[in-house]
Structure 1
């Protein structure tokens, strides 16, 4: 059961490039802000301070995490499109989740950021050429070279993954 709480939609599995898959993943990125907003609709402060799983972040931290993560994703795409085989900057997401900005009230601050950020990001994603999807970035911490295509799928998955954390908690608690 712990695995389903930690990975409610399963772990990310890369898929080969196709126009249909590209549209699906860009659509996931496009709709994520609304999906996150709807997932927390009408939750009170006690509910927002509830961890989505034992040992996991609270819903409040999770929403702030998604905006932090996707800010990094946006920058990674821009760097990947404008530099040749760049290193991307790792960050300690656990430590970021403990910084004071993740305590900001209301969480709509991060949701509003997601709406603006994803509008810009989707504009870029919709204008990447077929060839540019093969551009690579290098993650020095994991020692992994990743294509922009891989990153698109990973971040589309990431948004669905965390939205499902919240929805699963709501379902388990009858909220």
Structure 2
């Protein structure tokens, strides 16, 4: 959709507007994020120490290998199975990682390049269903996940201290800084690796 400016949005919106207008409307989500960012004071996030940052970066970098390790020994015939009711299959998890990690990589780039960017949320369950995660070869998704992690890790090596202080606003969660991004995604792959292991154990 076309880029939305604060000038395109009604200033009559309130913090309770999502309940009145429906949070699924994409134009509304962007307007809401822009208006909330400008009308509600930002809560200052605790400063991340260099040691904490290094720990999270190391966790992020190790994430792909953890997923590969969890997949080792997983029966190919069971990759689409749902041994745990209500949970994704291993194949769905890998497709989620391909899409989610590609999206997260782009989010970081927006934060680094644009001033106060709007970071759009999305419905991961709708992605899984409508993009047919469980019916597609997962090898390209695994490669997309790997490439997103490797190219993003390269950025960590060239980022300056001021880059870590940059921020934008998320359409669903509000203020969204580079450090918050790292906190969210550092263990994202590890969590899904553990999920794959639980599926394997449940077969």
TM-score bracket for the superposition, by shorter chain length: 0.7 to 0.9
1:117: which partner in 2? 148
Taking the TM superposition and a 5 Å limit, the aligned residue runs for 1:20-35 are 20-35=51-66
CA root-mean-square deviation: 2.1
Which structure 2 segments of 5+ residues have no match? 1-44
CA contact (8 A) 1:52 1:165 kept: no
1:39: which partner in 2? 70
CA contact (8 A) 2:82 2:89 kept: yes
Which structure 1 segments of 5+ residues have no match? 1-13
Give the alignment's TM-score, normalised by structure 1: 0.80
Aligned residues between the structures: 158
* Shift, 1:129, TM fit: 1.8
Deviating above 6 A after TM superposition, structure 1's stretches of 4 or more consecutive aligned residues are none
CA contact (8 A) 2:74 2:200 kept: no
* Separation in structure 2 between the aligned mates of residue 23 and residue 53 of structure 1, nearest angstrom: 35
* Separation in structure 2 between the aligned mates of residue 77 and residue 59 of structure 1, nearest angstrom: 26
CA contact (8 A) 1:67 1:113 kept: yes
* Shift, 1:157, TM fit: 2.2
Q: Name the SS for the 1:146 alignment partner.
A: strand
* Separation in structure 1 between the aligned mates of residue 144 and residue 198 of structure 2, nearest angstrom: 24
Q: Name the SS for the 1:138 alignment partner.
A: strand
* Cα deviation digits, residues 60-80 of structure 1 (max 9, x gap): 101110111111110110000
Matched, 1:62 2:100: no
